[in-house]
Amino acid sequence: MKNFAYAGLVAAVLSLGLSACYQEDGPMEEMGEAADEAVGDAKRAVEDAAD
């Protein structure tokens, strides 16, 4: 019976810990994604121009 209690406690701690790590994207993350998209767009434009 103790094993079930320990397993439940471990599951609760892990689920709380994982949910605490999730965060919305910050401004730097959004800026990085925008830069990645811009580089991808430029690469596609160069490839299209080469064809």
DSSP annotation string for 13-51: HHHHHHHHH-----HHHHHHHHHHHHHHHHHHHHHHHH-
Q: Is the pLDDT of residue 4 over 80?
A: no
Q: What's the pTM value of the predicted model, to 2 decimals?
A: 0.50
Give the mean model confidence (pLDDT) for residues 33-42. 92
Residue with the bigger pLDDT between 29 and 38: it is 38
Domain boundaries defined on the chain: 2-50
Residue 24 has pLDDT above 80, yes or no: no
- Averaged pLDDT, 19-34: 78
Buried b (16+ CB within 10 A) or exposed e, 7-28: eeeeeeeeeeeeeeeeeeeeee
Provide the pLDDT for residue 19.
61
36 or 18, greater pLDDT? 36
Task: Tell which residue, 32, 16, 43, 20, has the closest CA to residue 8.
Answer: 16
Q: How many CA atoms lie within 13 A of 24 on its CB side?
A: 2
